[in-house]
Amino acid sequence: DAGVTQSPTHLIKTRGQHVTLRCSPISGHKSVSWYQQVLGQGPQFIFQYYEKEERGRGNFPDRFSARQFPNYSSELNVNALLLGDSALYLCASSPEGTAAYNEQFFGPGTRLTVL
């Protein structure tokens, strides 16, 4: 079975640009979460989506937005990129969005570099 897939693998942008990152969850999983992992730190929660609705949001500015499509894939958008947005962006899928005990399965991530 295919795991969580993310595209692109790597991306280089300049300050002020916009970026779109994509994620396809494990087949049958309806929930997708996005995380930002800065080098040397643990992943930081950005968003969770379940059945196309936002179910959680972390402490990130409005420049960060996301959406989930009917096939449960998801996009993360970041506007007006800053140098500090350089990080590994991780997508995780889980089978349910409302259960208390959700195992999350992570994709390989998209490495974003902002110059």
Footprint of another protein (CB under 8 A): 4, 33, 40-45, 48, 55-56, 58-59, 90, 92, 97, 100-109
Q: 37 or 65, CB closer to another protein?
A: 37
* Residue with Cβ nearer another protein (16 or 61): 61
Side chain identity, residue 90: L
Shortest spacing between CB 6 and another protein, in angstroms? 8
Question: Which of 16, 56 has the CB closer to another protein?
Answer: 56
